[in-house]
Chains A and B, each alone.
Chain A
Amino acid sequence: MTNQTKLFDPKVLRKTVLEMAYAGSTVHIGCAFSIIEILAVLYRQYLRYPENEPLNAARDYLVLSKGHGVMAQYACMRELGWLPEEAFTQYFADGSDLKGLSDSRIPGLEVTSGSLGHGFSVGVGLALGAKLRGTDQKTYAIVGDGELNEGPIWEGALFSAHHQLKNFMTIVDENGFQAMGPTDEILNLGSIEEKFASFGFETITVDGHDELAIDEGVSKLWASKSNAPKALIAKTIKGKGVSFMEGDNIWHYTRLSEDSYQQALQEVRDEKK
């Protein structure tokens, strides 16, 4: 899937998220916007889905442990043609399938998230499975920085380092916020990179909205000769791409009005690359 630079254009992905959020009158827009570039790079350049099948047994695994950002993943799945158009225009309609949080019964979503700290461990299991089978499948687990409050993440970190799961990469969406405010005011995480490094991960910190930097970081981590699991710390901005959402945690909860929707669409369209 390399060289298809037009696919997974962050502008298009953000537009899809806004359309969904407006159609469904839903929240968590900020959580989706912080991982747009991360997902764009992974889907465009790294994730292998043979035959374009979301459940192909030889696929790479993308686990969105921070299920609150799932609209960004739906937007990518739209580019792959995995979801019908009505799923977007009728988001949150009675009887519809796409939920406000990741539901693994949707092919392409590997975990049922929303309760935090689950997906990381599921990802460790997927990576362990690939190692046991001796395949070259890779597993990515995207976690939020707020989600790092959850204990099972650190259980899984110990396990993946002890078992040298070099095929496992966690990507931390470090947007600095969790539900009730800034992460450093709620449970201060200190240096996330140092924490993962101390658990035995190979780590790199990048600008999580710079696609080239993300690509370079991911590729450098995979190129490493070490058997350690990898952690890419992506410094991001919650609500990235719309000026009045950026860094304002209210967009964890706020729904779009007609005015704010139009204004956001405008900004996403005009955004300079």
Chain B
Amino acid sequence: MAVVEEVTTDGMTSEGAFVAPGQPGSLVDVKPRYDNFIGGRWVPPTKGQYMQNISPVTGHPFTEVARSTAEDVDLALDAAHAARDAWGGSSLAERAAVLNAIADAIEANLTMLAVAESWENGKPVRETLAADIPLAVDHFRYFAGATRSLEGRSTEIDKDTVAYHFQEPLGVVGQIIPFNFPLLMAAWKIAPALAAGNCTVVKPASPTPWSILKLAEVIAAVVPPGVINIVTGPGGEIGKALASSPRIAKIGFTGETTTGRLIMQYAAENLIPSTVELGGKSPNIFFGDVMDHDDRYLDKAIEGLVLYAFNKGEVCTCPSRALVQESMYDQFMERCLERIGRITQGNPLDPTVMLGAQNSAQQLEKITGYVDIGVQEGAEVLIGGERTPLSGDLVDGYYFEPTVMKGHNDMRIFQEEIFGPVLAVTTFTDEADAVRIANDTLYGLGAGVWTRNGNLAYRMGRAIKAGRVWTNCYHLYPAGAAFGGYKISGVGRENHLMMLEHYSQTKNLLVSYSDEPMGFF
């Protein structure tokens, strides 16, 4: 991703931060309350209940969203089923046109949505401007292109018998989105589902239901009613109602492992497929030759380690376990800690701020608990380790210092996903030791390998049991690079053409062009 070079001054304060959504002069309008987006309309929740939505930037509520119940999920499913045949029967050109129109609408509102996303999630606006929203735009364009490339296969079984294979839409799918990339993960799920001809009912994460409703405002005019439906509310109630519904043909989920199992259990009850993208504890491995020269590459590698603080560490592929070759540990970590010490933290709406607010009080509580247990286990805090005290409007926000703890791979801080700006670092002796430590984990979502030696990089990449091994880079998420987990990090892949198969049925027409009977009866 490229760092934004030019930032508009529209909607900004004299201090150079974006005005908070809903405040005079902001690029983002905020209504007092939001209903569900069903059948292209805004539909109040059946039971009339709403829940407060908190911005982690301030720790205070700024709007209300529907606190939906199972009845509202049913309404959304009604709308999706009503739209199913028309959308499923639309031509590939028509589907691609809608996906491109969605991309264009998001792009035309890029800064507004970037500010909304930052306010909703707490992530720095410099990330949403340069990564989240542009990547979401590109994702829709990628699948607009992909859908035009859909091609059935045919096989000549013998000279008079042909097997034709068509990809057909599944129908109506359910998709559950996590809180860490509310818009980008929604794009990852919605784009392939629509490209394959499905209608969807989306449940955003309970702490981040609002930015996707802003997205719905932006795209409502270009999406046929009922093709995308969004229902907000508690996971235990509407997440369950959606995932266990006999009226969905597939469930897609990103979240944690136990809920992933629960989703698969519900899918088993209805005999439908599921895709689950779950946790990780990704190793980021730095070989000694990284420091052979003091050059741009070394600079990139140092940033590669510091990327654990990207999106406040709330990334399922957060490179939260750094494995540094013993021979260069002291010199390399000195450079990295110096860089970490220069991370600016504060109002995420300020484009110069690198580290924003954790998503919720719960997340903050959990991070604090992990630092505590790390210390109990004998890990050494190299930097950070505390809540960040901020003042003014941010005093009640959820801020945690960029933290590094040194220890060994058996410690729980090395084995469990902390989902915060907390790096666990340890050393390794040689290639075999690096592979052993890297794979000594329950998870297998991402990994990073840093070396100037291409052969070593290749061997490491193949030896690590993870779905994505970034080599001399990290945290790039281009559409077209398959993403998904080994081990308990999930089942299925996203972000790639192959998703079209995950969201399709295969229809086989087996056709005989012979006049000859079989001769059995």
Q: Do A and B come from one complex?
A: no
